[in-house]
Amino acid sequence: MRRPSFLSAPGRHRLAYYLHWYTSGLFFKINTRFTKAGKFTLAAMIFAGILGMDMRHTMAYEIFTLLFVMVVTSILYALRFSLTVRVSRILPPHVSAQTEFSYKLQIELAPSTKQKQERPAVAFMPGVAHPLERGLEVIDLLEDPRPTLRDFLDCKAVVRSVWRYLVDRAAAVTVTRAVAIPELYTGSSCEVTLNLTPNRRGKIIFKTVLIARNDPLGLFRAVIKVPLEQSLMVLPQRYAMPDIYLSGGRMHNQGGVALAMSVGESGEFYALRDYAPGDPIRIIDWKSWAKTNKPVVRKYQEEFFSRHVLVMDTFGSMDTSGSINVSGLQGQSLEGVFEVCVSIAASLIVSINDQDSLLDLIFVENDVYCFTTGRGLAHRVDALELLAGVSLCQDKDFSVLANSVKKRLSITSSLLCVFIQYDRARKELLDYLLASGLPFRVIMLHNEQVQPVASKKPVDDTLGELLRPPYSSVVTMIETSNIQEGLRQLTGGRS
């Protein structure tokens, strides 16, 4: 296969990718290894070198020579830096997007092999003079966020910089700063606190810890790399909103709570009876069988409890410009609107105040997912961790989600939906839910001023009709530019 020429469009894209790859790597090395004074000196050296090319009319080449010697001396001095360091990282169980968090690094300076051979008996004894290390810094490096060549070439998003778009999407945090380490004696340890603010949900992957020290001129950092890979889950951003009390009475759920987790029937034991052919082996009462010398099984009372469902819309159609081309969300990035949808769903999971009921989170990604929390099955933070990794579904139709919701209506007490667009498929689901008589509420995201539809205008897939009965009583319109204010409308009481 003939390789593309750099004059063709694929060739230009490849060239742009490699230029971004190497220049970003170079700037990362400069920012990591050079101090602020070192970067200023490096820039002045380059500028003086350009001006000093004409040695007959300027003396700038002398400045260039001086700065060049300073930089080279600093780099050579860094080669002498050697320490034996042990590092451990203490991370929180999880953090939230757009919220600053702190974590700690435990750093221990162990004696070198030469020190152990010279003073093996007093290497760690308190009160004995040990070498003192000053001016140390720590830098925690994260996973390389740069995209692969294939991801760069396959990206269809219409943005100013495809490279910056992919880098920002790859990691929740991409930059960490150097933090000073207190003075340490060899054999002692300390804790250093670092602060980070994740930009988006997902996973932060920590790769390497750098222990650095500036050279005497303060231009260049000598570093020691300590591989230490760990990961941290970043939960979706959550908005402040009042507690929500969902309506709906208790429903009969055959098999009780355990059936919700697909592990078999369960309920409250209330009697014994003789074994009948076809009874499950797990309900046999073995102790009673041993006493009566005949098989006996336990009888369970079926449970009645409230079961609420939260439906999250993960479907979106995309036009050639990369923006949503449906009612209510014109001109906005599809991924940006979806992030708002995920944050609202996470806020609802936290705000639903009904500890005695079950909450089913239903969405579609590569398959239909139904995650149940409450009554000892799973914690709500587990649902938030699931939302931290969810992505848009581009290869399935909204009918997959609608059919899944319809099948669960018989065991559902109430329904809460979050939609990122309004079209005919979602209108059909709204009509079906209205006909079922089930208590439900729909959150519809939009970014335009919506006016009620005129009475003579045909009722079609327009947002205006949602402001008219019967939709106005069950649909809450939330502008994407004023999410916090829209969520305050979600109040309710117990039925």
Domain boundaries, the chain: 9-33+81-235, 268-301, 306-487
Bridge partners (DSSP) of residue 274 are 296
Residue 75 has pLDDT above 80, yes or no: yes
**At 5, is the secondary structure helix, strand, or coil?**
coil
Out of 151-160, 188-197, 311-320, pick the least confident. 311-320
Whether the per-residue pLDDT at 475 is higher than 80: the answer is: yes
Q: Are 57 and 51 in contact (CB under 8 A)?
A: no
Mean pLDDT to the nearest integer, 449-455: 49
3-class state of residue 105 by DSSP: strand
Quick check: 315 and 363 in contact, CB under 8 A? no
pLDDT mean over 313-340: 61
CATH no. of 9-33+81-235 = 2.60.40.10
CB 97 within 8 A of CB 234: yes
Give the pLDDT of residue 68: 94
Q: Are 358 and 377 in contact (CB under 8 A)?
A: yes
What proportion of the chain, given as a percentage, has pLDDT over 90?
A: 38
Question: Residue 178 has which token pair?
Answer: 């150097």
Distance (Å) of CA 299 to CA 39, 101, 274, 275, 319: 78, 51, 10, 10, 58
**Quick one: which of 346, 340, 341 has its CA closest to 382?**
346
Q: In the predicted model, what is the mean pLDDT of residues 38-51?
A: 92
> pLDDT, tens digit, for every residue of 113-153?
555 555 554 444 555 445 678 889 999 999 998 999 998 98
> How does the average pLDDT of the chain come out, rounded?
81
pLDDT digits (tens, 9 = 90+) for 245-289: 666 555 545 444 444 343 334 456 667 888 888 788 888 888 888
pTM: 0.77
How many angstroms separate the Cα of 69 from the Cα of each of 45, 81, 223?
Answer: 10, 19, 21
* Strand-pair category, 307-312 with 414-419: parallel
| Highest averaged pLDDT of the listed ranges 150-164, 212-226, 314-328 | 212-226
What's the pLDDT score for residue 42?
94
User: How many angstroms separate the CA atoms of 349 and 357, rounded?
Assistant: 13
Segment among 199-208, 272-281, 399-408 with least mean pLDDT: 272-281
Give the pLDDT of residue 352. Answer: 79
What's the rounded Cα separation, in Å, for the pair 261 and 372? 8
* DSSP secondary structure, 18-65, as one string: HHHHHHHHHHHHHHHHB-HHHHHHHHHHHHHHHHTT-TTT--HHHHHH
Phi–psi pair at 42, nearest 5 degrees: -65, -45
Evaluate whether 70 touches 34 at the Cβ level (below 8 Å): no
Q: Residue 252, exposed/middle/buried by CB under 10 A (0-12, 13-18, 19+)?
A: exposed
- Which residues contact residue 458 at a Cβ distance below 8 angstroms, ignoring those fewer than 6 apart? none
How far is it, in rounded angstroms, from Cα 70 to Cα 47?
Answer: 15
User: Which region among 60-74, 135-149, 301-315, 375-389 has the lowest average model confidence (pLDDT)?
Assistant: 301-315
Which residue in 374, 361, 246, 243 sits closest to 313, CA to CA?
361
pLDDT (tens digit, 9 = 90+) per residue, 373-393? Answer: 876 677 889 999 999 999 888
Average pLDDT over residues 104-108: 93
The reported pLDDT for the residue numbered 305 is 64
Residue 459 has pLDDT above 60, yes or no: no
User: What is residue 263's predicted lDDT score, i.e. its pLDDT?
Assistant: 35
Average pLDDT score over residue span 204-227 = 93
Element (H, E) at 107: strand 101-110
Alpha-carbon distance of 345 to 241, in angstroms, equals 12
Residue-wise pLDDT for 181-200, tens only, equals 998 888 888 999 999 999 88
The one-letter amino acid code at 168 reads D
Contact 49, 233 (CB under 8 A): no
Parallel, antiparallel, or unpaired: how do β-strands 251-253 and 303-305 relate?
antiparallel
Residue 7 pLDDT: 58
Arithmetic mean of pLDDT, 332-342: 81
Q: Hey, CA dihedral for 19, 22, 25, 31, is it positive or negative?
A: negative
pLDDT band per the 50, 70, 90 thresholds, residue 465:
confident
Mean pLDDT of 419-447: 90
Q: Name which of 177, 185, 180, 182 is nearest 83 in CA terms.
A: 185
Q: What is the C-alpha separation between 348 and 345, in angstroms, rounded?
A: 5
Give the class (CATH, top level) of 306-487: alpha beta
Could you tell me the end-to-end alpha-carbon distance of the chain, in angstroms, rounded to an integer?
69
